[in-house]
Structure 1
Amino acid sequence: MPGAETSTLSRRDQAVLRAVAEGRCELGTGWAPLLLVDGLVCTDFAAGRRLVAAGLVHAPDPARPLGPARLTAAGRAALAG
């Protein structure tokens, strides 16, 4: 999914990317990135891992237990396109 366009993303993934772009998400470290939206754990437990693996969201900083989620250039392009 690297370089994925919005049309190839599920509506859920598009919504999560918009929430990340709006600064509403945090990622926690662990065996899989834990995604929080508006302070609550995302019910799609695989969303954080999927978007990080696709190169759309930066991987969480392993030195921080919880930090802001940030779009990559590919994530910004996917939302724009």
Structure 2
Amino acid sequence: MEIGKLVKMANQIALFFEAEPDVNVARQGVANHIKRTWEPRMREALLQHIEEKGGEGLRPLVIEAFRHHKELLRPRSRS
């Protein structure tokens, strides 16, 4: 999946949670939603986009959610 589509989807999720007055709850909401509904390759691609490109095009809440909940969102390696 191309990064532009992932950015668009993540931003839509963030728009929903931006109405939450508590930023910690909003970050957790974004992270939980993405963890539950996105496949690991999608999460890894967005995490890589944040790490390599600073999250270009992403709403700040998405970037914050990934930075604060990286371990939750990083796909587990298969050993």
TM-score range, shorter-chain basis? 0.3 to 0.5
| TM-score, normalised with respect to structure 2 | 0.39
Q: Which structure: greater helix fraction?
A: 2
| TM-score, normalised with respect to structure 1 | 0.38
Q: Which structure: greater strand fraction?
A: 1
